[in-house]
Amino acid sequence: MKIEEYTEYLQGQGVPDDAIEKRLAIIRDFVKFLADLGFKENTAAAGKEEVEKFARKLIAAGSNTLENFSFLRDYARWLGHRKLYVALIEVMDCHNALGVLADEVEERHGREVRDRVFSEALPPLGTGERERCAYTRTITEHMAQHVTPQETREAWFHVQHGIPADAWRESDMADREKYRQCGNNVDEFLDLKRRERDALLTRLRDEGKLWYTVEIDDEVLEFVKSDPEMEVGRREGDRVYITKIPYNAVRYLHETDPEMKRYYACHCPLLREAIRTGRPISPDVCNCSLGHASHYLAGLGQELKGEVLESAVKGDSRCRFVFYLPNVEV
């Protein structure tokens, strides 16, 4: 799998020799693992199933670090093995979300409530989506016993996919400046963000690159551009409506089975297996994505209240939110 070429690439990037060897150690282990599974000559065909198997191996060895998974992700991206690359991102996606939720519960309700809700140890990094979903279902059931539905939704809102506040700061401040340049006008700001969205996705389509894990082809691009709400927002009176781009947009647009269409719409690795297995889970978890989406409107400089209007896990074919605008010039 081009280990020598990748070594030369890292050297060309100025990565120190000891750091290169650290990366290659986990990569060689992964390459051998795939070869033993029969992927010696066709590693591009490896994907989620194989990555989750390797993750279980790393968990057992205590080597399931974010750094190791990041090394493998970067290697898969360099190889151009998109299926493998996406699978490795999915292993890390929202990796600390449940830990952030536990901290939120403790801060709001105390250590005793936290211990009752999180009576079982958090799933280790690399745990498969089926197991993560089962754990999340247990947590939501425990929360229902110890805090109110509104308190549950508020805690999940602040999880925001486990992304720390520092990671948002630069983009949020940039949007504040854009809003100012738009004369503090919401519609002009949203129009600007929509043009930026279309330009970015068009460039990714032209370059054959992913938007996070989403493939952008002609059909997906037109689908997004045709919906002013998607990933930006559409104002109606004192409300802004936001719809999420489906997680697997290509398959979403071609799927005819309603259940699988909802599965391809859902972004959450803590929930989406519930759609495929048909086992109910609390849609209160979707307030995590509501909190994430609140940053699309961070340029307005206000903490906006919102609601989850539709979600795939709730039975809808899309995920859609509304935010309420107090004292904002429109």
Would you call 82 exposed, middle or buried from its count of C-beta atoms within 10 A (0-12, 13-18, 19+)? Answer: middle
Task: Taking each helix axis as running N to C, give the angle between helix 186-207 and helix 218-225, from 0 to 180 degrees, rounded to the nearest 10.
Answer: 180
Q: What is the pLDDT of residue 315?
A: 95
- The span from the CA of 55 to the CA of 269, in Å, is 15
Using DSSP's 3-state secondary structure scheme, residue 230 falls into: strand
Percent over 90 (pLDDT), the chain: 94
CA 99, 49, 231 angle in degrees (round to 5)?
55
With cut-offs at 50, 70 and 90, classify the pLDDT of residue 328.
low
Q: What is the pLDDT of residue 44?
A: 87
pLDDT, averaged across the chain: 95
Q: Which of 297, 296, 287 is nearest to 319 (CA)?
A: 287
C-alpha 138: how far from chain center? 21
Q: What is the pLDDT of residue 40?
A: 80
Q: What CATH number does the domain located at 3-92 have? A: 1.10.150
| Structure-block tokens of residue 284 | 């209160």
Domain positions in the chain are: 3-92, 165-324
**Average pLDDT of span 124-141:** 96
- The span from the CA of 313 to the CA of 73, in Å, is 28
Q: What is the pLDDT of residue 330?
A: 56
Would you call 299 exposed, middle or buried from its count of C-beta atoms within 10 A (0-12, 13-18, 19+)? Answer: buried
The strand pair at 234-236 and 210-211 is best described as: unpaired
Q: What is the pLDDT of residue 126?
A: 96
Over residues 142-157, the pLDDT tens digits come to 999 999 999 999 999 9
State the pTM of this model: 0.92
Over residues 163-191, the pLDDT tens digits come to 988 999 999 999 999 999 999 999 999 99
With cut-offs at 50, 70 and 90, classify the pLDDT of residue 19.
very high
DSSP state of 326: S
Q: What is the pLDDT of residue 329?
A: 58
Over residues 238-290, the pLDDT tens digits come to 999 999 999 999 999 999 999 999 999 999 999 999 999 999 999 999 999 99
Q: What is the pLDDT of residue 303?
A: 86
Task: Kindly give, in sequence order, each residue whose CB lies less than 8 Å from that of residue 136, ignoring residues fewer than 6 positions away.
Answer: 98, 270, 271, 281, 285
**Average pLDDT of span 65-80:** 97
Percent over 70 (pLDDT), the chain: 99
Which segments of the chain are extended strands (E)?
210-211, 214-215, 234-236, 239-243, 306-310, 320-324
Residue 133 has pLDDT above 80, yes or no: yes
Residue 208 has pLDDT above 90, yes or no: yes
| Structure-block tokens of residue 243 | 């719809």
Residue 41 has pLDDT above 80, yes or no: no
